[in-house]
Structure 1
Amino acid sequence: MGLSGRERRILAQIEQQLEREDPELAKRVEAINRIEAGGDLFPQAYGDRMRMWALTHVWLIFTVGAVVILLLLVAVLTT
């Protein structure tokens, strides 16, 4: 059952007041609503940072693994 126009306006006013009084809580509520609606797990502001963080760690793990393999090869070939 959908909301009437009056109910939507009241809800919009409540949301605007919440954003003014407690922006952090408003962001959290928005994130929860997005998750429940099947949207992104992270808000856009955090999404790009999380992707960059994950990509950086993947490359770091890959690089460390390559260095370890290279050092093992050098150790085996020099003995």
Structure 2
Amino acid sequence: MSLSGKERRILAEIELALEREDPELAKRVAAINRIESDDKSLPKAYGERLRTWVLVHVWMIFAVCGLVIVLLLVAAVTT
């Protein structure tokens, strides 16, 4: 489903505002969009490293949450 002209205009205004307010974030969003669209302007290794980085951090979050749950259970049992 494509965007209407008004929606495209609003999206362009939001993008311009983002570029003005936080150029670093705008660069990161653009890089993610290029990776997701399989743009060849970024080396494939960069996309793979980014995906690996995200995957490692997601698993670390799960591990920490699991550890917190285990520690809470141990604390509940011992009191």
What's the TM-score, normalizing by structure 1? Answer: 0.50
How far apart are residue 41 of structure 1 and its match? 6.1
- What is the percent sequence identity of the aligned residues? 72
Q: Distance in 2 between matches of 1:31 and 1:40?
A: 11
Larger Rg: 1 or 2? 1
5+ long unaligned stretches in structure 1: 44-79
Amino acid at match of 2:5: G
Shift of 1:4: 0.4
**Offset from partner CA, 1:9-58 (integer Å, 9 cap, x none):** 00000000000000000000001011111103639xxxxxxxxxxxxxxx
Runs of 4+ in 1 over 6 A off after TM superposition: none
Partner residue in 1 for 2:2: 2
- In structure 2, runs of 5+ residues without a counterpart are 44-79
Mapped partners of 2:41, 2:8: distance in 1: 25
1:31 maps to 31
| Amino acid in the other structure paired with 2:29 | V
